[in-house]
């Protein structure tokens, strides 16, 4: 079944079929068939669709949603991070910060958050730092609580990296945004995450 769906994904002349196939793959990955999906070339196929600038936006929504689900698997995190010499990770960052579609932005942010649970190579992180900071800024300022939540969660993971911390600590604007969130009318869960970000900053500063 999965090989057939992947073949449908590659038929660019039929975006509706591509969207349908990507959606089914995503649903399979969230269920009991995750192993079947990840042991095929699904991640590679989705990466190809992600990198292809001609991919229809409706298809891209499903593709990025699938990638976010795939990234929940530890081995796939590393695969996505290193795929195509880091181009897949860079594309996720670019879409999270610059896509005009909010669903694509959110899906990519979710994938980045999962990948951030691993040790991102210093050169890859440095190459994408401007895009990551832009994405965080946009999401933290968003009126959508889900966007704020995923940005805070991702930031909390990234701050474990000393290289990221050394750059982020100079981002005074973002620090002020975090302070506002702590004192805001956001949910307790979001305010707790913001408070945890501040605590992580303090811990990193004290550790040298």
3-state secondary structure 3-47: HHHHHHHCCCCCHHHHHHHHHHHHHHHHCCCHHHHHCCCHHHHHH
In this predicted model, which residue has the larger pLDDT, 54 or 38?
Answer: 54
pLDDT at 152 over 70: yes
What are the φ and ψ backbone dihedral angles of 150, each rounded to 5 degrees? -65, -35
pLDDT at 34: 67
% the chain with pLDDT above 70: 95
In this predicted model, which residue has the larger pLDDT, 5 or 88?
Answer: 88
Q: Read off the pLDDT band of 39 (50, 70, 90).
A: low
Distances (CA, A) of 94 to 7, 89, 157: 27, 9, 19
3-class DSSP state of 155 = helix
Q: Read off the pLDDT band of 10 (50, 70, 90).
A: confident
Distances (CA, A) of 68 to 50, 53, 95: 12, 19, 13
**Is residue 35 exposed (0-12), middle (13-18) or buried (19+ Cβ within 10 Å)?**
exposed
SS3 breakdown of the chain: % helix, strand, coil, rounded to 5? 80, 0, 20
The span from the CA of 145 to the CA of 187, in Å, is 8
What is the separation of C-alpha 80 from the centre of its chain, rounded to a whole number of angstroms? 11
Q: Which of 34-48, 140-154, 156-170 has the lowest mean pLDDT?
A: 34-48
In this predicted model, which residue has the larger pLDDT, 39 or 19?
Answer: 19
The span from the CA of 6 to the CA of 115, in Å, is 23
């Amino acid at each position: 079944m999965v090989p057939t769906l992947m073949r449908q994904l590659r038929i660019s002349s039929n975006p509706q079929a591509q969207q349908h196939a990507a959606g089914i793959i995503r649903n399979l990955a969230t269920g009991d068939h995750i192993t079947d999906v990840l042991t095929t070339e699904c991640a590679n196929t989705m990466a190809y669709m992600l990198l292809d600038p001609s991919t229809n936006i409706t298809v891209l929504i499903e593709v990025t949603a699938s990638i976010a689900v795939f990234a929940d698997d530890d081995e796939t995190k590393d695969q996505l991070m290193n795929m195509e010499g880091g181009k897949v990770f860079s594309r996720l960052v670019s879409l999270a910060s610059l896509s005009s579609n909010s669903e694509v932005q959110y899906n990519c942010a979710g994938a980045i958050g999962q990948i951030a649970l691993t040790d991102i190579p210093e050169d890859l992180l440095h190459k994408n730092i401007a895009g990551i900071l832009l994405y965080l800024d946009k999401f933290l300022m968003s009126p959508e609580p889900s966007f704020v939540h995923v940005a805070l969660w991702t930031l909390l993971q990234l701050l474990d990296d000393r290289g990221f911390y050394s750059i982020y600590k100079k981002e005074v604007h973002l620090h002020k945004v975090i302070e506002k969130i702590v004192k805001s009318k956001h949910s307790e869960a979001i305010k707790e995450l913001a408070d945890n970000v501040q605590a992580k900053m303090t811990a990193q500063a004290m550790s040298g």
